[in-house]
Structure 1
Amino acid sequence: MNRIQRTAERESLLLRGFWLLIFFFVWQLAELVLLAVVLAQLVLRLAQGSINQGLQAFGDSLSQYLAQIGRYATFNSERKPWPLSDWPVPRPADIEVVQVVTPEEPKA
């Protein structure tokens, strides 16, 4: 029985290695997508003075997804990231976006 258990553990570890290889490539792609979201938010903030709420939510869930991959890869979690589990739900922002109000010039 001990030999059967070691064989099962080895097969399980090989399967995990296979998933880690796949998630390595997914990580690389997700980093590029996150960079695009960051740059888009920066441009929108500079051009319009406000951020895009949809991009903000997607950026948060993508960040959580990358964290899930990291936790799985470092053996801190047995839960496989998306698409083998649910996509992370975006959380509310930690900061408040302050709208800059310029004072009106006094009427003469």
Structure 2
Amino acid sequence: MNESKYESIVLRIVWMLVFLLVWQVAQLLLGGLVLVQLVYRLVYGAPSGNLMSFGDSLSQFLAQIGRFGSFHTEQKPWPFADWPAPRAPEGEAPHVVPPAPHPARDEEPKL
């Protein structure tokens, strides 16, 4: 094995170990998000749209780590690539909170 291939594989091993640690943290975070989403769904009757979006992005991030770790791609996951964009929900519609009414900005406050 020539010197550059050896350096390349050593560097890849280092990155794989770093992403293995990141995987463990992200996996715990996704597990917590699942529990919070379940409680939110029980309380409000529908899942949170923000949690749905973040959960989808986080699961795609975990998939990127898996593809990199299994040598499926040379592209390192975030922060070396863009954070995955959430996809449109395929399940339940998210809980929607209507915006709070705000007074017109040109009006003087009434005392």
CA pair 53-20 structure 1, distance change in 2 beyond 3 A: same
CA RMSD of aligned residues (A): 1.7
Instruction: Report the equivalent of 1:73.
Output: 69
Q: Following the alignment from structure 1 to structure 2, what is the Cα–Cα distance between the partners of residues 88 and 98? A: 20
The structure with more helix, counted as a fraction of residues: 1
User: What is the letter of the counterpart of residue 91 of structure 2?
Assistant: I
Larger RCO (alpha carbons 8 Å, 6+ apart):
2
Q: What do the CA deviations read for 1:69-92 (whole angstroms, capped 9, x no partner)?
A: 000000001000011111000001
User: What is the letter of the counterpart of residue 80 of structure 2?
Assistant: L
User: What is the letter of the counterpart of residue 87 of structure 1?
Assistant: W
The 8 Å contact of residues 49 and 94 in structure 2, kept in 1 or not, is answered as: no
Instruction: Report the equivalent of 2:17.
Output: 21
Q: Following the alignment from structure 1 to structure 2, what is the Cα–Cα distance between the partners of residues 98 and 32? A: 23
Overall identity of the aligned pairs, in %: 49
Q: What do the CA deviations read for 1:39-64 (whole angstroms, capped 9, x no partner)?
A: 01100111110111010000000000
Q: Following the alignment from structure 1 to structure 2, what is the Cα–Cα distance between the partners of residues 72 and 18? A: 12
Structure 2: gaps spanning 5 or more residues:
96-111
Count of aligned pairs between the two proteins = 95
The TM-score, its normalising length taken from structure 2, stands at 0.80
Runs (4+) of structure 1 moved beyond 4 Å?
none
